[in-house]
Amino acid sequence: MQRRIAHLDMDAFFASVELLRYPQLAGLPVVVGGRRGTLAGDRIEDFPRLRDYVGRGVATTATYPARALGVHSGIGLMKAAALAPDAILLPANFDDYIRYSRLFKAAVAEIAPLIEDRGIDEIYIDLTDVPGETVELAQRLKDAVRAATGLVCSIGVTPNKLLSKIASDLQKPDGLTVLDYADIPARIWPLAARKINGIGPRAGEKLDAMGIHTIGELAAAAPESLIAEFGQHYGHWLTEVAHGRDERPVVTERETKSVSRETTFERDLDVRADRDTLTEILVKLCERVAGDLKRKGYVGRTIGLKLRYDDFRTVTRDLTIEHATDDAPAILAAVRSCLKRVPLDRRLRLLGVRVGTLAPPGEAGPRPPQPGENLRLFD
């Protein structure tokens, strides 16, 4: 029996959650990003505008009216302000986003329990053994999500994950697209090759240089030419996905490989002049990672540090400790050792902490710093 795999994607998720709180902003260009502040009131004119933003933050998401102006997730807020100066800027509220994420996933699980969690706002669903006609079933899922959250989603249903990921994006927002293999020439091949999840900017540039711009052109390309350009594994994969072939199962359980936290500063920080600020930030990152580990039920042995300099170069250093831990001071002590192995001769724009090599708890961690020990990390 042919599989029925769905990809469900919440539409402009973060921004849509914010519109539940501020329904008066519906239909307006709204960008989510930056730091939290205090609103002067709840009238439209009381909300901050993007043109007034100064800093290094990036847009977490944007409503569809803002996207029509060129604003998208990941764009710098200063650049976004040049494109949409009158757009309303709201701070991100991740506690709410996590709560609504759990609500929509629980609503889907009541109908179709085989779910692969792909992030806070998207899931794959195996509908193969779920009773019901495909379009009606997909609409039931959309209705259940709306009833549980007040939010809309887009869903694509096809024989595999690759095609469903593409299909869910074809009729956004509030889309419902059902495709079969017979629909590939008409619905998939005219799309840009970069619409395939797994073809990034660099591979896209190589394909452009080969005269391959659409998925159809990729499907028509000689497999040996793709292998010659991209290597055996990736070149073969390009041929397969261009023809809509993907046998990956829906994975209902996924092992966490690492836990990390990082932060980008509003301004570049000097290692000496701002060392107290940097120390405070790094301590908090370690505490948050430790809290995440405890909530997820893991301890880890590989502690990693990530730095990004003012020239955008990024360096990482790892240290494997003797005993796995979820203890913030122990993580901090390992990070201190990592810091001794990186150059600190430039201003910093980002700090990050990661814990990997995860396992269930039970092993003792290393001795944490004792009271009175120096915690000024950037001396």
Residue ranges of the binding site for Mg(2+): 9, 121
B/e letters for 33-72, b = 16+ CB within 10 Å, e = fewer, are: bbeeeeeeeeeeeebbebeebeeebbbbbbbebbbebebe
Active site residue 122: yes
**Rounded Cα–Cα distance for residues 53 and 87 (Å):** 11
**Rounded Cα–Cα distance for residues 323 and 227 (Å):** 44
Among candidate residues 298, 310, 279, 297, the one with its CA nearest the CA of residue 373: 279
Q: Could you tell me which residues are annotated as the binding site? A: 9, 121
What is the helix (H) or strand (E) element at residue 177, kind and residue range?
strand 176-178
| Candidates 45, 110, 116, 122; catalytic one | 122
**Rounded Cα–Cα distance for residues 239 and 241 (Å):** 6
Strand, helix or coil at 1? coil
**Rounded Cα–Cα distance for residues 47 and 204 (Å):** 39
Phi (first) and psi of residue 264, to 5 degrees: -100, 130
Residue where the block lists tokens 């396992």: 359
**Rounded Cα–Cα distance for residues 157 and 306 (Å):** 39
**Rounded Cα–Cα distance for residues 212 and 245 (Å):** 19
Strand, helix or coil at 226? helix
**DSSP letter, residue 366:** P
Q: Which residues pair with 178 in a beta bridge?
A: 157
The secondary structure of 277-306 as a DSSP string is HHHHHHHHHHHHHHHHHHHHT-EEEEEEEE
Supply the Cα-derived Rg of the chain in whole angstroms.
24
Residues classed as catalytic? 122
